Amino acid sequence: RKEVEQDPGPFNVPEGATVAFNCTYSNSASQSFFWYRQDCRKEPKLLMSVYSSGNEDGRFTAQLNRASQYISLLIRDSKLSDSATYLCVVSTGGFKTIFGAGTRLFVKA
């Protein structure tokens, strides 16, 4: 089993749609959780940290369920500019950061 697993893509959605990405992690000792986005041939950019209480940043909402070892990202009112690969990231207390393989999102007009 992979340490961090994400929904296989790609997701193809129309503009204005709501899309949800899921991610599971295997190490219960994991401490920090993040979502990054990566555009083609560019470096990953931090989208948001994920907290147990959940957090929201504009159209983006992230949730963490420690009991189920599950992280989610919800994007509302999708824009063309949201097209990218979304990476789920988990850091353990052992100073190790694991990226998921990523889920590609295509938003179409």
Q: Which residues of the shown chain bind another protein in the complex (CB under 8 A)?
A: 31-32, 34, 42-46, 49, 87, 91, 93-102
Report CA torsion sign: 42, 109, 99, 61.
positive
Q: Are 78 and 19 in contact (CB under 8 A)?
A: yes
CB of 95 to another protein, least distance (A): 3
Distance, in Å, from the CA atom of 30 to the CA atom of 67, rounded to the nearest integer, reads 12
Q: Which is nearer to another protein, 45 or 79 (CB)?
A: 45
CB of 107 to another protein, least distance (A): 20
Q: Are 5 and 98 in contact (CB under 8 A)?
A: no
Q: Which is nearer to another protein, 9 or 69 (CB)?
A: 9
Kind of pairing between the strands at 103-108 and 45-49: unpaired
Q: Which is nearer to another protein, 17 or 99 (CB)?
A: 99
Kind of pairing between the strands at 55-57 and 30-38: unpaired
CB of 101 to another protein, least distance (A): 5
CB of 40 to another protein, least distance (A): 10
